[in-house]
Amino acid sequence: MRFAIRMLQRAVILALGGLSIWLIVDVFELVDRRLPLILALIATYAIGAYLILPRAVRMGLKVLQRKRVPSFTITGDGLPGDPVNLALAGTFDQLRNAFTVAGWVEADPLNLASSWRMARAFVLNRPYPTAPFSTLYLFGRGQDVGFQKAIDDSPRKRHHVRFWAQSLAYAEADLATPDFWLNDQRPSNNEPALWVGAGTKDTGFSLTSMTFQMTHATDSDTNAERNYVVNELRDCGVIGKVTNYKTGDEVVTRRVNHYVTDGDIAVADIEAIPH
């Protein structure tokens, strides 16, 4: 049954893609026929993959999905993103200092300039240690901050983790309650918060499965990446005792998107860092 549903979804997306190209080229003539064929195809791909298909997917998912407690982030298309696997309690400055001590760097904000620089670095395989992250969503908003550690100085391979701040008042109640995961009010940087994170390892180049946008390929084993991040911080003495909890919606199949995950989230306090 699930296989049949998946195949139906893919068929619908493929049909939408074909319809999008037909509308762009033949009906609305948004692609100038005087353009060389390669430029026309590039323009068609860009409009279809980044404008039409994402909106079509989001509209479809709004109709099909019911509210549920997330154990994973959401992409801009409304699809399952990286699994939630880490949470650190402390202020924003403590979080930033902890990763600085561990040798990680903060990602640049995602904008036109940083995206262009990242594209050049990716194609030419030139170092870009503070490369931006694509936007994933949790608590109804994009990530508040992200940190990364390049592998072999390559922009194509890196350890990285996104964080979303959540009120400690909700966290102290119970991580497994919908009230915590569905609260969309962001605490200020000055107050202690629980920084809920999704850590994954980029391994190269890929295309998204539903809308065919260009993105990083990621290692499937997010358990290993969660343990890597935790060990990096623990070895530097910047976090305290680590306790594993289940996220609110346990992953019964042990897979989220293409990821393998045990559904655990490692939680720790950020220790005071001596100056």
Each residue of 184-210: pLDDT tens digit? Answer: 778 888 888 889 999 999 886 555 554
Question: What are 64-118's pLDDT values in tens digits?
Answer: 444 455 678 887 766 778 888 998 999 999 999 999 999 999 999 988 888 888 8
Burial class of 176 by CB neighbour count within 10 A (0 to 12, 13 to 18, 19+): middle
Domain spans in the chain, listed from the N-terminal domain onward:
2-64, 72-269
Tell me how far the alpha carbon of residue 212 is from its chain's centroid.
16
pTM for this structure? 0.69
Give 155: exposed, middle or buried? Use CB within 10 Å, 0-12, 13-18, 19+: buried
Our CA angle for 148, 225, 190, nearest 5°, is 50
Question: Whats the size of the chain, residue-wise?
Answer: 275
Tokens of 197: 């994170």
Taking the C-alpha atoms of residue 163 and residue 149, their distance in angstroms, rounded to an integer, is: 15
Instruction: Name the nearest CA neighbour of 75 among 216, 176, 192, 189.
Output: 216
In eight-state DSSP terms, residue 189 is T
